[in-house]
Amino acid sequence: ASKSRADDQPETAGVPVSAPGAPPARLVEDLDAALDQQQFWLVYQPIVDLASEQRLGVEALIRWMHPARGLLNPADFIGPAEVSGQILPIGEWALRSACDATARLAPDTYTSVNISGRQLGLRGLAAMVADALDASGLPAERLVLEVTETAIVADLDNAVARLGELKELGVRIALDDFGTGYSPLTHVRSLPVDILKIDRTFVRNVEHSEEDRAIVRGVIEIANRLDLRTVAEGIETPDQLEALRELGCESGQGYLWTWPVALDEALHAAR
Ligand code: C2E
Ligand code: MG
Ligand code: MG
Ligand code: MG
């Protein structure tokens, strides 16, 4: 490998950059190979009812075992795959795999799958999701698709159309990382969503910070008014759990129960 390193591409040592802003050619090649050679897999994190701590669902999260670099997290490759467009086949693989695995192994649970903004741009998205449900036998009511507000706002009219088609299939839509976007929280009123996922940044200090509690309280109030479900992300401690219960948050996920693990482990994880 070459020893040059572009200053603006800190994660791409030794790799020639093909165009400004484009992922390095080497990573693009590696992502193609990863799909061909089945180097991706999914881990799952339970989503629990905060009152009873019973499992309601699982979120599927992608991992990549790179042959040279070892285990890579989404932060290492999802962004570049969005730029290159490779998130389209990767995202389809993740959706189909999650539907297949959970239809077979997790009949009492819903399955939540992250969808990239690039996928939302596909006119055929709903048809692909319908086919994944058909092929796996997973009932639409047991699938949740997670999209970020940023992805929706990037092309609002298109996103609202695509999400509407998905909802017609009977799947539910969760707004991921809610509260981290720049649009006002009440903006959610005009979006076809069912679930608000309260971002981890508001959970981290929820038991100490009156400001963070005010934000969480606001999100829960909006959710209640619009008849949406709430899920808090990144619950790590019993004190955070208690604070979120007191604020009226319905459900959550986090290391308090388990980090993302193999599906069978996620289904048996309990505190
Ligand atoms: P996300 O959808 O918001 O997923 C939650 C992230 O928080 C996951 O990181 C999870 O491992 C982490 N997490 C869960 N509980 C805790 C906790 O208690 N403490 C801390 N510190 N972290 C916790 P992960 O797996 O690294 O995924 C990062 C992001 O990558 C996801 O954020 C999602 O936006 C994206 N992603 C993951 N899988 C896929 C996929 O299949 N397709 C697409 N398009 N994006 C994906
Ligand atoms: Mg998510
Ligand atoms: Mg999230
Ligand atoms: Mg998040």
Residue matched to tokens 């570049």: 80
What is the best residue among 99, 114, 144 to mutate for testing ligand 1's pocket, by most ligand atoms within 8 Å of CB?
A: 114
Q: Give the ligand with the smallest distance to the CA of 118.
A: 1
The interaxial angle of helices 74-84 and 25-36, nearest 10 deg, is 100
Query: Is residue 8's pLDDT more than 70?
Result: no
Rounded average pLDDT over 108-133: 97
8 A C-beta contact, residue 45 and residue 59? yes
Question: Which ligand is nearest the CA of 75, by number?
Answer: 1
Closest CA to 92 of 113, 68, 65: 113
Q: What is the pTM of this model?
A: 0.92
**Whose Cα sits closest to atom 19 in ligand 1?**
234
Q: What whole-number distance in Å separates Cα of residue 109 and Cα of residue 112?
A: 10
User: What is the overall mean pLDDT for the chain?
Assistant: 91
Ligand 1 site, CB within 6 A: 45, 61-62, 73-75, 78, 87, 91, 94, 114, 116, 146, 176-177, 200, 233-236, 253-255, 260
pLDDT one-digit tens code per residue, 203-232 = 999 999 999 999 999 999 999 999 999 999
Tens of pLDDT, residues 184-210: 777 888 899 999 999 999 999 999 999
Structure confidence by residue, pLDDT tens digits, 243-264: 999 999 999 999 999 999 999 9
Mean pLDDT of 154-175: 96
Tell me the pLDDT tens digit for each residue of 37-87.
Answer: 999 999 999 999 999 999 999 999 999 999 999 999 999 999 999 999 999
Cα of 176 vs centre of ligand 3, distance in Å, is 5
